[in-house]
Structure 1
């Protein structure tokens, strides 16, 4: 069995010795629907149920490990252990009682760190699982086979974080980057800025040397309406593309080429 060197060991017995071995091929993240520390998660598994996860993660980034990652844990239903001996490593994370809050910065950092360790230790590939038995990374509600009756775990905020922050962070750090690139913060336009831009647009489009305010207001309102329709169309296209991209292995995609295609599509829409 394998124990993570930066997790606190809270070994569950008799499960740790009595449950069968697995070959770890997936990492599945959960919300436990309780604001618990890693130690409190351990106590719950020990005293209140015959189920368990491999890891527990508190709000402060405290990571506990309850069973070695090469031993079956019971948090993932059909992914716990398959007929071929493969199985998923699971991590329950502290949440509010509705499961609606995002992970804290400390939880995000520890999930990234744990994901990198699992990739390096067990060779879990750097991709989001493309099916319920495909090796890779995922979250509990991603596939029905990972729960007995279907689940909404984790909530929408954490699914968004997983796709936009946690998983890209694992990939980046595993490839030698310290952190994903940060975007420069946007600067909001003032009302005077907007008026100035509107005046310039009307002047350039109609040859007016000094359009009055009512003409500028009309032009801006028309522009906002057209922009809204364009962005709605772009959003639909991006959503469709993302649905396809989610099924593709990160290792098999030319990300630069994909990014260029998306940029070209958006530029084309805006030009229209």
Structure 2
């Protein structure tokens, strides 16, 4: 298996050892529809789902690798591993809850570096995939075979960036144009700082988890109110007879 030195290694087990080998021929970019850190992505793959991805990219551009690129990861449906043993490398990235925001400059720079490494390490051709099994680079919603029943991931803003900035940046970097760097940091808290904030004196949940739990509770209450309203309506109808 192959591990990218530009990413923090956080090996996902037992998937990393138990899933079959692939010969990587594609890199598919995703948005995870959550403003998560890479550590939070790792915990999600480990604890909450049987899906997984090779890489995660948080808002500040930090990369984490969960599975070696010559092992299957389950984020791309039919492209995970094809009958001939080829498969896609997947990279999730932090986004807003509707995955409609653009990649940050730092994310773009990191994803370009990752794309360059995959070309150099695995020989991915410098082209956008023409079909679902064509070697090259793409984004999750590009072909229906890459998802189960279709997906809106990533949103329009990131699709535009992929075609106008990200993929051209990979090509330019390989051909000697250099890899862009992110803007200098400032003192303002980033989205990742805000969503990851946790007041341990009050709760062990971060802001994102509190919001999601609150949304689930509100939905449960709404369902309960709707059920009570239906019962009242039935009682009134019975009393009118």
How does the TM-score come out when normalised to structure 2? 0.74
Which consecutive unaligned segments of at least 5 residues does structure 2 have?
A: 181-241
> Runs in 1 of length 4+ with deviation above 3 angstroms?
none
Q: Does 1:41 align with 2:41?
A: yes
Structure 1 SS opposite 2:178:
coil
Match of 2:161 in 1: 161
- The Cα shift of 1:39 comes to 1.1
Structure 1 SS opposite 2:89:
strand
What pairs with 1:196-235 in structure 2 (closer than 5 Å)? none
- The Cα shift of 1:167 comes to 0.2
Structure 1 SS opposite 2:103:
coil
- The Cα shift of 1:179 comes to 5.0
Higher-helix-fraction structure: 1
Number of residues paired by the alignment? 180
Asked if the contact 2:112–2:179 (Cα under 8 Å) also holds between the matched residues in 1, the reply is no
For 1:186-244, what per-residue CA distance to the aligned partner results, in whole angstroms no more than 9, with x for missing partners? Answer: xxxxxxxxxxxxxxxxxxxxxxxxxxxxxxxxxxxxxxxxxxxxxxxxxxxxxxxxxxx
In the alignment, the residues of structure 1 paired with residue 88 and residue 20 of structure 2 have an alpha-carbon distance, to the nearest angstrom, of 13
Asked if the contact 2:140–2:153 (Cα under 8 Å) also holds between the matched residues in 1, the reply is yes
Match of 1:175 in 2: 175
Structure 2 SS opposite 1:46:
helix
In the alignment, the residues of structure 1 paired with residue 167 and residue 22 of structure 2 have an alpha-carbon distance, to the nearest angstrom, of 23
- The Cα shift of 1:178 comes to 1.2
In the alignment, the residues of structure 1 paired with residue 166 and residue 106 of structure 2 have an alpha-carbon distance, to the nearest angstrom, of 12
Which consecutive unaligned segments of at least 5 residues does structure 1 have?
A: 181-272
In the alignment, the residues of structure 1 paired with residue 6 and residue 108 of structure 2 have an alpha-carbon distance, to the nearest angstrom, of 15
Asked if the contact 2:172–2:178 (Cα under 8 Å) also holds between the matched residues in 1, the reply is yes
In the alignment, the residues of structure 1 paired with residue 121 and residue 73 of structure 2 have an alpha-carbon distance, to the nearest angstrom, of 18
- The Cα shift of 1:6 comes to 1.1
Q: Which has the larger radius of gyration?
A: 1
In the alignment, the residues of structure 1 paired with residue 40 and residue 9 of structure 2 have an alpha-carbon distance, to the nearest angstrom, of 13
Structure 2 SS opposite 1:68:
coil
Q: Which has the higher contact order (CA 8 A, sep 6+)?
A: 2
How does the TM-score come out when normalised to structure 1? 0.66
Match of 1:97 in 2: 97
Superposition RMSD on alpha carbons, in Å?
A: 0.8
For 1:18-53, what per-residue CA distance to the aligned partner results, in whole angstroms no more than 9, with x for missing partners? Answer: 000000000000000000011110110001011100
What pairs with 1:31-180 in structure 2 (closer than 5 Å)? 31-179=31-179
